A and B are shown apart, each in its own frame.
Chain A
Amino acid sequence: MKFKSFAVLYLLFVVALSACVPEPVEEIPEASSEETFPEGDNLPQACLDDAFGCAVIPSGETIKIGMGAPLLGDYSMFGIDISQGVQLALAQDDGFEGWTYELIAEDTGGLPEGGAAVANKMVTDSTVVAIAGHIFTGSTDAAMPIYEKAGLPMMSPSATNPMLTQKGSAVFNRLAFTDADQGKTAASLLFDQLGIRKIGVVHDGGSYGQGLADVVKEEFIALGGEVVAYESITPGEADYVAPLSAVASGEPEAVYFGGYAAEGIVMMNQWSQAGLDGVLFFGCDGTYGVEFTEKTGANSEGAIAASLVPPDSDEKTRFDAAYAETFPTKAGELSAFTWSAFDTGGFLVAAIEQVAFVENGTLFVPRGALVEAVRDLDYVGLTGRIKCDEIGECNASGPTFYKVVAGEWQPLDLGTE
Chain B
Amino acid sequence: MIHDLKTRKLSPELIVRIVVGVILSIYLGWRIYLSIFGDQAYGPDTWLRFLITGLVIGGIYALIAIGYTLVYGILFMINFAHGEVMMLGAFVGFFVLEAFAALPTPTEGNPELTFLNAYPVIALILVFIAGAAISALMGYALEKIAYRPLRNAPRLIPLISAIGASIFLQNAAQLLFGPQRRQYLNPDLLARGSGWMIQVGEKSVMLTYTGVFSFVLSILLMVGLFFLVKKTRLGKSMRAVAENKHAAALMGIDVNAVISKTFIISGLLAGSAGVMWGIHNGLFNHYVGFLPGIKAFTAAVLGGIGNIPGAMMGGMLLGLFESLGPALLGIDFQLKDVIAFTVLILVLVFRPSGLLGEALSEEKV
A239 to B208, CA, bound (A): 13
Query: B283's contact among A233, A241, A266, by CB below 8 Å, is which?
Result: A266
Tell me the smallest distance from the CB of A104 to a CB of chain B, in Å: 20
Q: Does A221 contact B (CB under 8 A)?
A: no
Q: How far is the CB of A204 from chain B (nearest CB, A)?
A: 10
Q: A232 contacts B334, CB within 8 Å?
A: yes
**Given A242-B326, A246-B42, A265-B283; A274-B49 close (CB under 8 Å):** yes
Q: A267 CB to closest chain B CB, in angstroms?
A: 11
Q: Is the CB of B46 within 8 A of A249?
A: yes
CB-CB under 8 A from A32, the residues of chain B are none
* Contact yes or no, B46 A238, CB < 8 A: no
CA distance A72 to B180 in the complex (A): 8
Partner of B42, one of A241, A249, A266: A249
Complex interface: chain A residues within 8 A of B46 (CB): 245-246, 248-249, 275
Answer whether residue A76 sits at the interface, using C-beta atoms and an 8 A cutoff: yes
Q: Which of A233, A265, A266, A274 contacts B333 (CB 8 A)?
A: A233
Tell me the smallest distance from the CB of B246 to a CB of chain A, in Å: 37
Tell me, in angstroms, the Cα distance from A42 to B193 when the chains sit together.
70
Considering only residues 264-293 of chain B, those with a C-beta below 8 Å from chain A are 277, 281-285, 288
- B63 in the interface, Cβ–Cβ < 8 Å? no
Which residues on the A side are within 8 Å of B333 (C-beta)? Answer: 231-234, 242-243, 246
Asked if A126 is at the interface (CB within 8 A of a chain B CB), the reply is: no
Q: Say whether A272 contacts B193, CB under 8 Å.
A: yes
B206, CB-defined interface residue at 8 Å = yes
CB distance from B212 to the nearest CB of A (A): 12
Interface residues of A in 292-316 (CB under 8 A from B): 295, 299
Asked if B181 is at the interface (CB within 8 A of a chain A CB), the reply is yes
Question: Considering only CB atoms and an 8 Å cut-off, how many residues of chain A contact the other chain?
Answer: 30
Interchain CB contact under 8 A, B43 and A270? no
Beta-carbon contacts under 8 Å, A254-289 to B: 262, 265-266, 269-275
- Give Cα A248 to B327, complex, Å: 13
Q: With an 8 A cutoff between CB atoms, is A74 at the interface?
A: yes
A76 surroundings in chain B (CB, below 8 A): 179-180
The answer to whether B49 and A273 have CB atoms under 8 Å apart is yes
Taking a contact as CB atoms under 8 Å apart, the answer to whether B334 and A295 are in contact is no
Q: Which residue in chain A gives the minimum CB-CB distance to B292?
A: A238
Q: How far is the CA of A271 from the CA of B327 in the complex (A)?
A: 19
Partner among A72, A238, A262 whose Cβ is within 8 Å of the Cβ of B281: A238
C-alpha spacing A326/B285, complex, angstroms: 27
Asked, given contacts A273-B49, A275-B203, whether A295 binds B43 with beta carbons under 8 Å apart, the answer is no
Which single residue of chain B is at the shortest CB-CB distance from A238?
A: B281
Interface residue? A398 (CB, 8 A) = no
* Inter-subunit contact B323/A242 (CB<8 Å): yes
Cβ distance B197 to chain A, nearest Cβ, rounded Å = 9
Interface residue B205 (Cβ < 8 Å from any Cβ of A): yes
B183 x A295 contact (CB < 8 A): yes
CB < 8 Å neighbour of B50 from A73, A242, A266? A242
Contact A245 B281, CB 8 Å, known A72-B179, A231-B333, A233-B334:
no
Please judge, given known A-B contacts A232-B332, A232-B334, A249-B43, whether A239 and B53 are in contact too, CB under 8 Å: yes
Kindly state the separation between the CA atoms of A232 and B331 in the bound complex, as whole angstroms: 11
B358: Cβ under 8 A from any A Cβ = no
Q: Using an 8 Å CB-CB cutoff, how does the interface string of B163-195 with A read, 1 for contact, 0 for none? A: 000000000000000011101000000001111
| CB < 8 Å A-B pair total | 78
When the two chains form their complex, are residues B283 and A234 in contact, meaning their CB atoms are under 8 A apart?
A: no
Contact indicator per residue, chain A 45-89, by CB within 8 Å of chain B (1) or not (0): 000000000000000000000000000111010000000000000
Interface SS of chain B: mixed
Closest-by-CB residue of A relative to B282 is A269
Tell me if B49 and A270 are in contact (CB < 8 A).
Answer: no
Residues of A within 8 A of B327 (CB): 242, 246
Among A73, A76, A266, A275, chain B packs the most CB atoms within 10 A around the CB of A275
How far, in angstroms, from A275 to B44 measured CA to CA in the complex? 12
With A246-B327, A248-B46 in contact, is A241–B334 under 8 Å at CB? no
B57 CB within 8 Å of chain A = yes
| Complex-state Cα separation, A249 to B288, whole angstroms | 30
Bound Cα distance from A118 to B179, whole angstroms: 20
On chain A, the residues within 8 Å of B98 by CB distance are: none
Q: What residue in chain A is nearest B281 (Cβ atoms)?
A: A238
Query: How far is A234 from B340 in the complex, measured between Cα atoms in Å?
Result: 15
Interface presence of B45 (CB below 8 A): yes
With most chain B CB atoms within 10 A of its CB, the pick from A231, A241, A295 is A241
Q: Does A205 contact B (CB under 8 A)?
A: yes
Residues of B within 8 A of A265 (CB): 283
A234 touches B203 (CB 8 A): no
Residues of B within 8 A of A74 (CB): 181, 285
Taking CB atoms, residues of chain A closer than 8 Å to B323 are 242
Contacting residues, chain B, for A275 (C-beta < 8 A): 45-46, 49, 203, 205-206
The 8 A CB mask of B32-65 against A (1 = contact, 0 = none) is 0000000000110110011001000100000000
Give the distance in Å from the alpha carbon of A231 to the alpha carbon of B335 in the complex: 12
Give, as a whole number of angstroms, the nearest-CB distance from B37 to chain A.
15
Complex CA gap A5/B130 in Å reads 55
B57 close to A272 (CB less than 8 A): no
Cβ contacts under 8 Å, A243 to chain B: 333
Interface residues of A in 223-256 (CB under 8 A from B): 231-234, 238-239, 241-243, 245-246, 248-249
Closest to A231 in B: B333
Chain B minimum-CB-distance residue to A237: B291
Please measure, in the bound complex, the distance between the C-alpha atom of A238 and the C-alpha atom of B46, giving whole angstroms. Answer: 19
In the complex, which residues 336-371 of chain A have their Cβ closer than 8 Å to any Cβ of chain B?
none
> Contacts of A234 on B, CB cut-off 8 Å?
333-334
A241 to B192: give the CA distance in the assembly, Å.
13
Residues in A neighbouring B45, C-beta threshold 8 A: 249, 275
Residues of A within 8 A of B53 (CB): 239, 241-242, 273
Residues of A bordering B, CB below 8 Å: 72-74, 76, 205, 231-234, 238-239, 241-243, 245-246, 248-249, 262, 265-266, 269-275, 295, 299
Task: List B residues at the A interface (Cβ < 8 Å).
Answer: 42-43, 45-46, 49-50, 53, 57, 179-181, 183, 192-195, 203, 205-206, 208, 277, 281-285, 288, 322-323, 326-327, 332-334, 336
7 pairs of A and B residues whose beta carbons are closest in the complex: A243-B333, A238-B281, A245-B49, A249-B46, A241-B53, A249-B42, A245-B46
Q: List 9 A-B contacts (CB under 8 A).
A: A74-B181, A231-B333, A232-B333, A233-B333, A238-B277, A242-B53, A242-B327, A273-B53, A273-B206
